[in-house]
Amino acid sequence: MANSLLSQLRQMTTVVADTGDIEAIRRFQPHDATTNPSLILQAAQQEGRRERLAHIARESRDLDEALDRVAVDIGSEISTLVPGYVSTEVSARLSFDRKATMARAHSLIERYQQAGVSAERILIKVASTWEGIQAASQLEREGIQTNLTLLFGFTQARACADAGVTLISPFVGRILDWYKAQNPKADFSGAKDPGVISVKKIHEHFKANAYPTIVMGASFRNTEEIQALAGCDRLTISPKLLGELERQSGFLARQLHTEGNAASAEKATPLDQATFRWQINEDAMACEKLAAGIRQFMADQRRLETLLGELRQKG
């Protein structure tokens, strides 16, 4: 639809596909694509990939190598369909291990380069734990670009900006889930959505302070949340919601702007580890959702490990 909400959104925000589904990416033609362990598991279970997965499982030394090869195999295919970034996530098991996260990131980048995909096209996704942020800071200094995910609070966003990461993925829908569970009768529609409020605060802070880090809203539950963040640097959206935006018409107003208000800038000294951990602990939502997100990604990774292990044994 020429005047759909999706076409209007593309005029003010870089649209990113939150999926490993190749056909969905072909259909919606996003600028970038993001994946995570849950999405890689979904893509891996597609019947057309089973033979390829079996080959990778049999040719890999162990499951860790097989997992990385599967992620890079899917990511490399996606890279031929989008002009921008492809995000590939480091194992959730390494969320609290800085050195192991860095080693895994180097391994993923090397595999992409062997597949003919340059490092400039890849964002290494890392959980926004203290260790993950410190790993990302060093990786950025080495020229490896990062996407800090499972980001639920302003403290995490501040630390990521201090670290100079390329992009952050503040979650919207999972924040809403938490608040709805605490107060089921409250009205969280539109601009009152706590996830929307969180991303707006982060976006405005980054622009006011001229941080180069890209803000990419993620984890949407409905198109209303997306419309409330029109104008955000990037939004990563599931195929289901992309389809709904494509079918909807009407005027889409810009809600976020690229120009920051320098007068409202809240410059602060970089957070140290103790302050970061204390502030996360004080934010019950961010603390609980970060832990739950890591567990969920790890649960899906274990399912993928089981699938690859079964395919390997059959070989």
Domains of the chain with bracketed CATH = 5-314 (3.20.20.70)
Q: How far is CA 205 from the centre of its chain?
A: 20
| Distance from C-alpha of 128 to C-alpha of 101, rounded to nearest angstrom | 12
Active site residues: 125
Which residue, among 94, 81, 148, 83, has the nearest Cα to 121 in the 3D structure?
83
DSSP-derived letter for residue 166 is S
Of the CA atoms within 13 Å of residue 24, those in its CB half-sphere come to 20
Provide φ and ψ at 7, rounded to 5°: -65, -35
pLDDT, tens digit, 9 for 90 and up, residues 165-202: 999 999 999 999 999 999 999 999 988 999 999 999 99
Residue 213 zone, left/alpha/beta (φ > 0; ψ -120 to 50; rest)? beta
Any idea what the Cα angle at residue 47 is, between residues 43 and 28, rounded to 5°? 45
85-103 tens-digit pLDDT:
999 999 999 999 999 999 9
DSSP characters for 262-291?
Answer: GGG----PPPPHHHHHHHHHH-HHHHHHHH
At 263, the pLDDT band (50, 70, 90 cuts) reads low
Q: 88 is written with which tokens?
A: 């590939």
Helices of type H across the chain: 5-10, 22-28, 37-44, 50-59, 63-79, 98-114, 130-141, 154-163, 173-182, 194-208, 223-228, 239-247, 273-282, 284-314
Q: Stretch 18-42: mean pLDDT, rounded?
A: 93
What is the rounded distance in angstroms from the CA atom of residue 124 to the CA atom of residue 89? 6
User: What is the reported pLDDT for 258?
Assistant: 83
Summarised one tens digit per residue, pLDDT across range 51-77 is 888 899 899 999 899 999 999 999 999
pLDDT band at 313 (very low <50, low <70, confident <90, very high): confident
User: Which of helix, strand or coil describes residue 33?
Assistant: strand
Q: What pLDDT is attached to residue 262?
A: 59
